[in-house]
Amino acid sequence: MRTQRLQRRLTRHEAVVGVVGQGYVGLSLAASAAVDGLTVRAVDVDGARIRELALGRNVVPGVDDAMFAAAVDTGRLSFDTDPAAVADCDVVVICVPTPVVEHRPDLSFIEDAGRAVAAHLQRDSLVILESTTYPGTTDQILRPLLEAGGLRAGRDFLLAYSPERIDPGNVKYGLRNTPRVVGGIDEASSRTAGLFYSQLVDDVEVLSSCRAAEMAKLLENTFRMVNIALVNELATLCGEQNIDVWEVIRAAATKPFGFMPFYPGPGVGGHCIPLDPTYLAWQSRRDTGRPFRLVETAQDINAHMPTYVTTRVIEALSEHGKAVKNASVLALGVTYKPDVGDLRESAAIEVLGRLARKGARISFHDPFVSEIREHELNLRRSALTGAALEAADIVLLLTPHSSYDTDQLTRHAKLLFDARNAIGSPRPSTVVPL
């Protein structure tokens, strides 16, 4: 196998890169690679998405508009629905979804992508899987699919795993300055995958295997999920004891060692935190017969938070002489995190669905979302005006986008439920904290 030739093409920026899957992970990678001088073939089965991207329209939430525009301007980024576009690629990166269905990992997108790539895989190339998944997927699921065409991993092509680490909306850490973890099926695969990412990323950590890299990704997000569950449960305890949980966290965070602050909220959302630990819990039960007890407990705590927030909202209304039935509720921010237009697993929408089933009249505003069509809701975005704030029996600040003027909210809302401590302390008497 001519590994050195591929490595030379990478260092000289002569390599052609195929990126299969044009969600925010795949498109972010494709755009960055094009800006950094590589020729990129971007592939996705969604024809409507590909047409928009080919016209230079960024229709993928979470992808930096400036980076996308710069990539298009290079002329090195092309879009296609035909997987044959990867046939001349030196590197093929698979960035497809790995959802959880009925508490089990759904690897059908990886399997489909593997079969599509295998049909056009060229000798002496490198295949990298970026999709988050459980340890063993690259070796046990993807590898046999790629080898079905007759080529053999390690002999005819290289194979590695490198988990995506993109944090949508994070203005401090992007693809370039977030270290990349890489693990291959053998030393040549690891080294070459590390060389590829070193063209795009400042720091690359090369591990001993695909399994180690797969597990590292799950540890990252499980760590976050467990600590979020801790402060979520602490928030419920503090609420029962009339203690300001935000003050407690702020005080604990003054310790310069041994503590990292996490913050409570209406629940966890997005594509990582609610889903990735499920892979770990599922694999533990499948391979060892034991539950991953800490993970499963944390999942239960976080899953309860929308119910807890709903109860707090109903209590706040009651304390101000208003029943939840027929109460006018204006929700601000329904995406899973601030300044990102992603509704996946959004706890805010679950809260609204629960309140609607209690008889509340729901309206919402979110600068990134024009309509809600889930959790039995059928809503179009309302205008955010002083009059709208004053007319609501309660305003719910569920996801505090930076465009929201908190002074305006406290000035006009007669009752404001602040799920994320956006108002801070001291709070007006009309503001109800989580």
Quote the CA–CA distance of 331 and 396 in Å, as a whole number. Answer: 5
Task: Answer yes or no: is pLDDT of 124 > 80.
Answer: yes
pTM recorded for the entire structure = 0.89
Closest to 333 measured CA to CA, from 252, 253, 416 = 416
Please check the confidence at residue 145 and state whether its pLDDT lies above 80. yes
Is the pLDDT at 34 greater than 80? The verdict is: yes
7-11, 34-38, 278-282: least confidently modelled range = 278-282
Residue 97: predicted pLDDT: 92
Per 3-state DSSP, the chain is made up of helix, strand and coil in percentages (nearest 5) of 40, 15, 45
pLDDT in tens, 235-261: 999 999 999 999 999 999 999 999 999
Is position 272 annotated as part of the catalytic site?
A: yes
Task: Quick: pLDDT tens for 150-206.
Answer: 999 999 999 999 999 988 778 889 889 999 999 999 999 999 999 999 999 999 999
The pLDDT of residue 239: 92
Smallest CA-to-CA distance from 44 within 29, 32, 33 is with: 29
Per-residue model confidence (pLDDT) at position 287: 86
Q: pLDDT (tens digit, 9 = 90+) per residue, 75-108?
A: 999 999 999 999 999 999 999 999 888 778 899 9
Contacting residues for 145 by C-beta, under 8 A, at least 6 apart: 111, 114, 115, 118
Catalytic choice (95, 210, 238, 272):
272
Q: What is the arithmetic mean of pLDDT over 117-140?
A: 95
- The two most distant CA atoms of the chain are separated, in Å, by 76
Say which residues have a Cβ less than 8 Å from residue 94's Cβ, sequence separation at least 6.
20, 21, 110, 113, 114, 117, 127, 128, 129, 130, 131, 142
Q: Inform me whether the pLDDT recorded for 402 exceeds 80.
A: yes
Tens-digit pLDDT profile for residues 259-303: 999 999 999 887 677 777 888 888 888 889 898 899 999 999 999
395 contacts 405 by C-beta, under 8 angstroms:
no
